[in-house]
Amino acid sequence: MTTNPVSTANVAGHPLHPMLVLFPVAFLVGAFASDLAFWGTGNPFWARASMWLLGAGIVMGALAAITGLTDFLGDKRIRDISDAWQHFIGNGTVVVLALINFGLRYSQGAEAAIWPWGLVLSLLITCGLLFTGWKGGELVFRHRVAVYDAPEQTGTLRQDNVDTRRNAA
């Protein structure tokens, strides 16, 4: 039986990258939303919230990137997939844009940096995340990366447990 490409960064067979990647996505899209709120209201709270969300997005993005890079380098079959390269390069670009956005706000002040470049960068980051999220979905749903189609793929189930489940069905 041919097995699917596997996640090498996992705990008990559960891939870490898909668990961690939700955090930077939420933080970075939240930064865009709070930029829009600042633009619409002028309330400095939203400018500070954007800066904190960008910082949290960068930190969690780095953790997600480490696990994603481990998976990318850990199984050659993943590197043979075009969508994996697009996901990898796209997410790297998103993190660099987030660093630039954070640096701009740090150097100019959270409020002063939002219009226009902070908002434009946040929009680009959000669009980039839509693209890379789609490509990540392609890796799982189309290319079956880290999807265990059979219990024996996980390497964590004992054979007698598999036999018991088959007999019960």
Determine the Cα–Cα distance for residues 102 and 107; give it in Å rounded to an integer: 9
C-alpha dihedral, 64 to 68 to 70 to 76, nearest 10°: 180
- Res. 133: pLDDT tops 90: yes
> How far is 34 from 119, CA to CA, in rounded Å?
10
pLDDT of 152 > 70? The answer is no
Instruction: Give the model confidence (pLDDT) of 54-70 as tens digits.
Output: 999 999 999 999 999 99
The percentage of residues in the chain with a pLDDT greater than 70, rounded to a whole number, is: 87
Q: What is the pTM of this model?
A: 0.86
